[in-house]
Amino acid sequence: MSLNHYLIVEARFYDDLADEMVQGAIEAIEANNATYERLSVPGALEIPAAMKFADVGTAKVYAGYIALGVVIRGETSHYDYVCGESARALQELAITHNMAVGNGILTVEDHEQAWARADRKRKNKGADAANAALRMAALKSEFKV
């Protein structure tokens, strides 16, 4: 397995937004001559667990992990828990388990904000998350962690 191989873990709760973010991530990965695999999960809360499962449950070696998803504020406090807990768990994977993680979980107020960030012609946060994972993997390699 390539030492420049990444795992994209995508939350499929909003399929159209997920597809756009994944395409942005793929373009960034391929622009860096890296390879990737994709893994789909139901929502943002499942992303960190899927990353950890992939890290310990396979012989494959991933240089880094890219978390992609969208959380849109609703009528209840569920939004706050999903946003906070998914970010906390991703940070724990990075710090405690030395995983190179690019966090592309969008936390927004509405669909308009989500599209502004997901759209590859605007903010392209899928590419941003992939570029973060690429940089953190390079840093990890530099420090031989």
pLDDT digits (tens, 9 = 90+) for 23-58: 999 999 999 999 999 999 999 999 999 999 999 988
Three-class secondary structure of residue 11 per DSSP: strand
In the numeric block, the tokens 């504020």 are attached to 73
Return the pLDDT at 2. Answer: 54
pLDDT at 1 over 80: no
Find out whether 109 is annotated in a ligand binding site: no
Find out whether 37 is annotated in a ligand binding site: no
CA–CA gap between residue 21 and residue 17 (Å, rounded): 6
Among this protein's residues, is 78 annotated catalytic? yes
Structural domain boundaries of the chain?
5-142
Indicate the class that CATH gives domain 5-142. Answer: alpha beta
